[in-house]
Amino acid sequence: MTITICASLKFWDETLELKAGLEKLGHIVYTPVKVEGVDYWEEDGSKRVAAKKTQDLISEHMEKIEKSDAILVANYTKKDIENYIGANTFMEIGFAHHLKKKIFFINPMPNQPYIKEELESVEPIILEGDLSRII
């Protein structure tokens, strides 16, 4: 299966671990692009925005989703939000749903009130950390 990982780049190390685990299971894996020189933890997001614009990173990632059979949402704890899903990842989930791709979450759904109902409506498959459950 071809899988695109969708995640906040704050979870870059976890994304690389997921990629290695999926490839070990025989999957073809696409990941987001991490731009060198951009601090993804910086409070002022202007460098992240500039990189997204100049390199058209949002469209590039959507093209990866189009070429995939499924997406894997790498939702981990960020600050005080357990199983966090950010704005870009939320857009990618909606896009994958529209394209009728399988949607997997590595961890349970977050309790983020503004997106919880929408996430439930796309009926993601919750892996509970077990990549072998991807079929």
pLDDT in tens, 67-119: 999 999 999 998 899 999 988 899 999 999 999 999 999 999 998 888 988 99
Q: Please state the rounded mean pLDDT for residues 1-22.
A: 95
Q: What is the CATH number of domain 2-34+45-133?
A: 3.40.50
On the question of pLDDT at 56 being above 70, the answer is: no
Cα-to-chain-centroid distance, residue 32: 8
Cβ atoms 127, 133 nearer than 8 A: yes
Query: Crossing angle for the helix pair 46-54 and 57-67, nearest 10 degrees?
Result: 60
Q: Is the dihedral of CA 114, 117, 122, 124 positive or negative?
A: positive
Instruction: Tell me the helix, strand and coil percentages in the chain, rounded to 5.
Output: 40, 15, 45
On the question of pLDDT at 33 being above 60, the answer is: yes
The predicted model scores a pTM of 0.88
What distance in Å separates the CA atoms of residue 121 and residue 52, rounded to the nearest whole number?
A: 28
Sheet holding 28-30, edge to edge: 28-30, 2-6, 70-73, 102-105, 125-126
On the question of pLDDT at 43 being above 90, the answer is: no
Mean residue pLDDT of the chain comes to 88
